[in-house]
A = this chain, B = another copy of it.
Amino acid sequence: MRNCCDMRGFLSFIVLKLICKRNMSGEDIRQELKKRKGSKPSPGTVYPVLKALSESGFIQEVKNGAKEKKYKITKKGKNELKAATRKFCMIFYDMKDEFQKRC
């Protein structure tokens, strides 16, 4: 997640955040993003992100015998997410109020 929070490409950030909450597969992630965004990201969008996160050591495959690969976040990934979250909150500082209004 080299350039996370450089103002473009928050996808890997979100994906890492999602996997942090619970182990997820590529399909799980596509589903979840469909719920949030309205549109389901294409396979060519999601899988390369998973690969990159995996190669960076931020997530790790959980073997469950099935075709579907679930990923879990690693220690390293948690640290990365923490740092990215800090940045995110600084950048989108104002959004705090919006969330409060809404939730």
Contact = CB atoms under 8 A, between A and B. Distances in A.
B99 A95 contact: yes
Interface size class of A (residues with CB under 8 A): 20 to 34
The A contact surface, by secondary structure, is helix
Interface stretch (A6-14, A51-59, A62-70, A72-80): A6-14
Contacts of A96: 99, 103
Contacts of A89: 95, 98-99, 102-103
Contacts of A7: 9-11, 14, 37
A54 to B, nearest CB: 20
21 contacts: A5-B37, A7-B9, A7-B10, A7-B11, A7-B14, A7-B37, A8-B8, A8-B11, A14-B91, A14-B92, A17-B94, A36-B90, A36-B91, A36-B93, A37-B87, A37-B90, A37-B91, A85-B95, A88-B98, A96-B99, A99-B99
